[in-house]
Structure 1
Amino acid sequence: MALFIKPQGKTGAEKFLRLIGMVIVLGLVVYAFWVNNQSTLEKIQARNALWDQTKVLSRSERDFVQGFIRSMRSEFGVKVRIQIILDPITSQEVDPKELLIVISPPTQGVGMHFPGLVAHALGKGFISELENKHFVNHFSDDEWPTSLMTCLSMIWDRLVNVDANQAVPKVYTDGNRSLSDPESSAHKE
């Protein structure tokens, strides 16, 4: 295979160094193109993951929420969608591997869907507290953006601090065999 771009030089060493330089420049251009595409893809994903019909969130609040979305994807592999809507909350089709938070400030409604493992790690009581009590009395005085950021911080802290040394799981018996409850078993790795 012949090279179409032949490096110019008087000696073989000079030609070799020029060839190495061309390869390095080509590699840097390819790397810069890849980094740019990754950055653009992250921005598009973050924009689609946060939907704010109210346009109330400030730039710093939007950045915080989008940082949470990116962090959940990179650290836990969980896709997150956050919707702030003007209409009442209706049921919608949700991917079972997706964390969805829907807030309707005009109707003071909050809806949340957590994927199975995330729900198990957070606990039913914690999730119920977030859905039913965390946002109460924060809609009337427009403090719900702060409550949203607090909610996301609480979810993050709870997931980051999941203890691997949890209590011994419940064991169910089936005749002569013992069956561990897969939802409550904690495995040490």
Structure 2
Amino acid sequence: MALFIKPHGKTGTEKFFRMIGMVIILGLVVYAFWMNNQSTLEKIQARNALWDQTKVLDQSERDFIQGFIRSMRSEFGVKVRVQIILDPITEQEVDPKELLIVISPPTQDVGMHFPGLVRHALGKEFISELENKHFENHYSDEEWPASLMTCLSMIWERLVNVESDQSVPEVHTEENDSMPDPESSAHKE
């Protein structure tokens, strides 16, 4: 069975404009369907990316964390998961391209996994500070949500600064022969 859509009209011009109108309406319906699917997919991904067993986060804190997750994906291509759990932190399988932050307020423990390039950009000292000292003494007063948001802001700020502060290394040319060769100068006395 074939489906034929033939616009009705008295003149050729009227038929043409009706056909254009049908194409425009069909395009708008397809666009609206696509936008709805994108929105639904974003909501599902956001729900999977933030897992709060404690139910302590309010809506503004959840929105902030989900905004961080979306921004990291769109700006740096890094998938982020934030888990707030009631049990002790256990080892879990993590995608090498994923940033994972796990917080267990009852056990006062934090676990973080950074992808290789992000780990390199942030630096070992910065990551160690976040993992070992940033959340200290913030569990007893229920201040850990604010500490989590501060942690995410610090990661974002550091990555943005790394991206904008990188300088281009000087290229060695024949005109600039005064630059020593790094391999040969290491052993000279």
**TM-score, normalised by the number of residues in structure 2:** 0.86
Offset of residue 68 of structure 1: 0.6
1:127 alignment partner AA: I
Instruction: Please give the alpha-carbon distance, in whole angstroms, between the structure 1 residues aligned to 2:145 and 2:65.
Output: 10
Partner of 2:66: 66
Offset of residue 90 of structure 1: 1.1
Offset of residue 125 of structure 1: 0.7
Q: What is the correspondence of 1:40-189 to structure 2 with a 5 Å cutoff?
A: 40-162=40-162, 163-165=165-167, 173=183
Pair 103,11 (structure 1): closer, same or farther in 2 beyond 3 Å = same
Q: What is the correspondence of 1:1-20 to structure 2 with a 5 Å cutoff?
A: 4-20=4-20
Offset of residue 37 of structure 1: 0.3
- By percentage of residues, which structure has more helix? 2
Pair 167,108 (structure 1): closer, same or farther in 2 beyond 3 Å = farther
Partner of 1:23: 23
1:133 alignment partner AA: K
Offset of residue 167 of structure 1: 7.6
Instruction: Please give the alpha-carbon distance, in whole angstroms, between the structure 1 residues aligned to 2:3 and 2:101.
Output: 56
Offset of residue 139 of structure 1: 0.3
Instruction: Please give the alpha-carbon distance, in whole angstroms, between the structure 2 residues aligned to 1:167 and 1:127.
Output: 26
**Matched-pair identity in %:** 84
Instruction: Please give the alpha-carbon distance, in whole angstroms, between the structure 1 residues aligned to 2:53 and 2:101.
Output: 14
Which blocks of at least 5 consecutive residues in structure 1 are unaligned? Answer: 177-189
Instruction: Please give the alpha-carbon distance, in whole angstroms, between the structure 2 residues aligned to 1:130 and 1:118.
Output: 14
1:97-122: per-residue Cα shift (whole Å, max 9, x none)? Answer: 10000000000000100000001111
Offset of residue 146 of structure 1: 0.4
2:89 alignment partner AA: I
- By percentage of residues, which structure has more strand? 1
Q: How many residues align?
A: 172
Instruction: Please give the alpha-carbon distance, in whole angstroms, between the structure 1 residues aligned to 2:168 and 2:136.
Output: 32
Pair 172,33 (structure 1): closer, same or farther in 2 beyond 3 Å = farther
1:101 alignment partner AA: I
Instruction: Please give the alpha-carbon distance, in whole angstroms, between the structure 2 residues aligned to 1:135 and 1:25.
Output: 54
Highest CA radius of gyration, 1 or 2? 2
- Paired residue secondary structure (1:111): strand
Which blocks of at least 5 consecutive residues in structure 2 are unaligned? Answer: 171-180, 185-189
Partner of 2:177: none
1:144-182: per-residue Cα shift (whole Å, max 9, x none)? Answer: 0000000001101111111211788xx985xx8xxxxxx
